[in-house]
């Protein structure tokens, strides 16, 4: 039941304390706001509390259970980060205060930049971009501006078929044409294809590493050498760096630009669209192209530097998504070098553990160790009349959030694949329980497929019609009432 349906005229969750004020309130509301105000639900405080508490209890999040959504890194985010991001010394600052008054925020941003430089092997960073795709756009605009200055005939960007789907979109938005490089039989970039495509019309390559099937790009250094030798630049999609922290640095592999998703790897809870931050790191020769202002330390103070002659311009207002940056800052400070390395080890071990347990029932496409996630296939189950969707729905009955399904989408992954990312924060017991459930479901598919076809049974919302919502859009309670 929506709050609107619970509304009873005259009920209110607050009181001004004197009726004459309440009586006059409508006249004092500007005309444009009166109509929407009259449509607000009228409920008591208790109605309100029960409504939202019951909604919250129906929700599923990483704080309630295992959330192995591949490519999304739904790891647990320590609550201390929330406390720090909500600290009034941070939230009470105004972005229009002078840099002299905001030294604390600027110091935090500067030190975060330094940490990210060390983690990635890059020379400078912008903290402005608000999500991964926004970081990609920033990085590709930098490469585009650089090529306009140095070699404007380079108008194409090469993107492996195993890249994240946002990559071609970002390159296109930055003004490039994209060309797809196929993967070889090991799930890596096909070097012969790259050799043929990498000519003097190509500005560079965008590489997701680990790629979308969780595999480390084993030809990384050869790719960097080849692309550089032919005058191109290299972009590194480092959204899922939680497999690599302390192990491999994009800068050392030869990459010129990298973005990191702080809301995945560096501990900001996300999902449903935000909030996020995706700092972009560059090598020194591109530092003048960064969005301005850039936080620097000069003459004993933290200052906002706008003196970047080739800047692509601003990518966000003020200092970026400060609360997300604060969480990442606290996370990195608390983990330290050894902690980040341990997190990466755990992420890799966990993904390989799940892969080993589930392979006999849901085989992986490649017999190679994975990094932070594993892609498994449910192909043979169609002979029992069961699809991967039914398997994912049935997992909900066992209390687990399903993994990403029907993605990625390139050969040999074209169909019935699920992408499982346990992340570094899960225990062996949790992963065992999850794998047990998927193994039981594998048996159920053979013995009692009906159980899967009608699943889920134990959830607040049971099997939904997959296309009804798209065909009958309800975007507000008024649509629902048909007015
Ligand atoms: C999640 C992800 C992105 C996009 O990040 P958003 O914050 O959702 O825009 C890009 N690349 C990779 C590899 C990702 O996993």
Looking at per-residue pLDDT, the higher value among 273 and 366 belongs to 366
Q: Is 235 helix (H, G, I), strand (E, B) or coil?
A: strand
* CA 263 to ligand 1 centroid distance, Å: 10
| Tens digit of each residue's pLDDT (9 = 90 or more) over 122-144 | 999 999 999 999 999 999 999 99
Atom of ligand 1 nearest to the CA of 238: 13
pLDDT (0 to 100) of residue 412 = 65
| Residue linked to tokens 């993605």 | 407
* CA 135 to ligand 1 centroid distance, Å: 9
Q: Where are the beta strands (DSSP E) in 161-225?
A: 177-181, 202-208
Of the residues 74, 133, 236, which should be mutated to test ligand 1's pocket, given the most ligand atoms within 8 Å of the CB? 133
Work out the number of other CB atoms within 10 angstroms of the CB of residue 72: 21
| Tens digit of each residue's pLDDT (9 = 90 or more) over 337-358 | 999 999 999 999 999 999 999 9
Q: Measuring CA to CA, which residue among 215, 101, 103 is closest to residue 160?
A: 215
Atom of ligand 1 nearest to the CA of 135: 9
Query: Residues enclosing ligand 1, CB less than 6 A?
Result: 71, 131-133, 164, 166, 208, 237, 239-240, 261, 276
* CA 75 to ligand 1 centroid distance, Å: 15
Position 413 pLDDT exceeds 80? no
Cβ 278 vs Cβ 131: under 8 Å: yes
pLDDT (0 to 100) of residue 482 = 47
Of the residues 131, 138, 208, 261, which should be mutated to test ligand 1's pocket, given the most ligand atoms within 8 Å of the CB? 261
Token pair of 166 as six digits: 């946002």
Looking at per-residue pLDDT, the higher value among 480 and 86 belongs to 86
Atom of ligand 1 nearest to the CA of 136: 10
Token pair of 401 as six digits: 């959030």
Cβ 455 vs Cβ 444: under 8 Å: no
Position 281 pLDDT exceeds 50? yes
| Tens digit of each residue's pLDDT (9 = 90 or more) over 64-74 | 999 999 989 99
Q: Is 334 helix (H, G, I), strand (E, B) or coil?
A: helix
Distance CA 267, CA 416 (A): 30
Distance CA 374, CA 210 (A): 11
pLDDT (0 to 100) of residue 13 = 85
- Kindly report which listed range (32-41, 339-348, 435-444, 456-465) carries the lowest average pLDDT score: 32-41
pLDDT (0 to 100) of residue 73 = 93
* CA 46 to ligand 1 centroid distance, Å: 40
pLDDT grade, residue 53 (50/70/90)?
A: very high
Residues 180-198 as b or e (16 or more Cβ within 10 Å = b)? ebebeeebbbbeebbeebb
Position 268 pLDDT exceeds 70? yes
Looking at per-residue pLDDT, the higher value among 99 and 311 belongs to 311
The answer, as to whether pTM is greater than 0.75, is: yes
* CA 298 to ligand 1 centroid distance, Å: 34
The values of phi and psi at residue 233, to 5°, are: -115, 165
Cβ 393 vs Cβ 455: under 8 Å: yes
pLDDT (0 to 100) of residue 483 = 42
| Tens digit of each residue's pLDDT (9 = 90 or more) over 148-178 | 999 999 999 999 998 998 999 999 999 999 9
Report CA 404 to chain centroid distance, whole Å.
13
Length, in residues, of the chain? 483
């Amino acid at each position: 039941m929506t709050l609107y349906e619970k509304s009873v005229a005259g009920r209110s969750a607050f009181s001004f304390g004197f009726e004459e004020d309440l009586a006059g309130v409508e006249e004092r509301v500007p005309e444009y706001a009166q109509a929407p105000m009259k449509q607000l639900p009228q409920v008591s405080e208790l109605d309100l509390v029960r409504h939202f508490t019951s909604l919250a209890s129906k929700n599923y999040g990483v704080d309630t259970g295992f959330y192995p959504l591949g490519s999304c890194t739904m790891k647990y985010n320590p609550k201390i980060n929330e406390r720090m991001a909500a600290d009034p010394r941070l939230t009470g600052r105004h972005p229009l205060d002078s840099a002299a008054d905001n030294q604390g925020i600027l110091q935090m941003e500067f030190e975060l930049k330094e940490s990210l430089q060390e983690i990635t092997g890059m020379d400078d960073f912008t903290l402005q971009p608000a999500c991964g795709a926004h970081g990609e756009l920033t990085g590709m605009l930098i490469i585009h501006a650089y090529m306009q200055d140095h070699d404007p005939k380079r108008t194409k960007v090469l993107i492996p078929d195993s890249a994240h789907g946002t990559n071609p979109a970002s390159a296109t938005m930055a003004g490039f044409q994209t060309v797809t490089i196929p993967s070889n039989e090991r799930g890596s970039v096909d070097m012969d294809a790259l050799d043929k495509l990498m000519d003097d019309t190509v500005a560079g390559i965008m590489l997701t590493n680990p790629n979308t099937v969780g595999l480390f790009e084993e030809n990384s250094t050869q790719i960097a050498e080849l692309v550089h030798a032919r005058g191109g630049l290299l972009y590194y999609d480092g959204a899922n760096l939680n497999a690599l922290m302390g192990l491999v640095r994009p800068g050392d592999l030869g990459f010129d630009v990298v973005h990191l998703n702080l809301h995945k790897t560096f501990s900001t809870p996300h999902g449903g669209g935000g909030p996020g931050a995706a700092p972009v790191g560059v090598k020194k020769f591109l530092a003048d192209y960064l969005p301005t202002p850039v936080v620097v330390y000069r003459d004993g103070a933290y200052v906002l530097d706008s003196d970047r002659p080739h800047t692509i311009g601003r990518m966000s207002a003020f200092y970026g998504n400060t609360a997300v940056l604060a969480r990442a800052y606290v996370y990195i400070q608390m983990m330290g070098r050894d902690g980040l390395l341990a997190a990466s080890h755990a992420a890799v071990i966990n993904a390989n553990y799940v892969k080993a347990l589930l392979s006999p029932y849901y085989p992986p496409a490649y017999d190679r160790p994975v990094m932070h996630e594993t892609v498994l296939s449910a192909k043979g189950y169609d002979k029992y009349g069961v699809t991967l969707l039914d398997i994912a729905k049935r997992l909900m009955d066992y209390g687990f959030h399903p993994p990403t399904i029907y993605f990625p989408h390139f050969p040999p992954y074209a169909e019935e694949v699920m992408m499982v990312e346990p992340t570094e924060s899960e225990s062996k017991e949790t992963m065992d329980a999850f794998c047990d459930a998927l193994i039981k479901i594998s048996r159920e598919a053979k013995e009692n497929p009906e159980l899967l076809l009608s699943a889920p049974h134990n959830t607040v919302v049971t099997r939904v019609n997959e296309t009804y919502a798209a065909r009958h859009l309800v975007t507000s309670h008024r649509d629902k009432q048909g007015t």
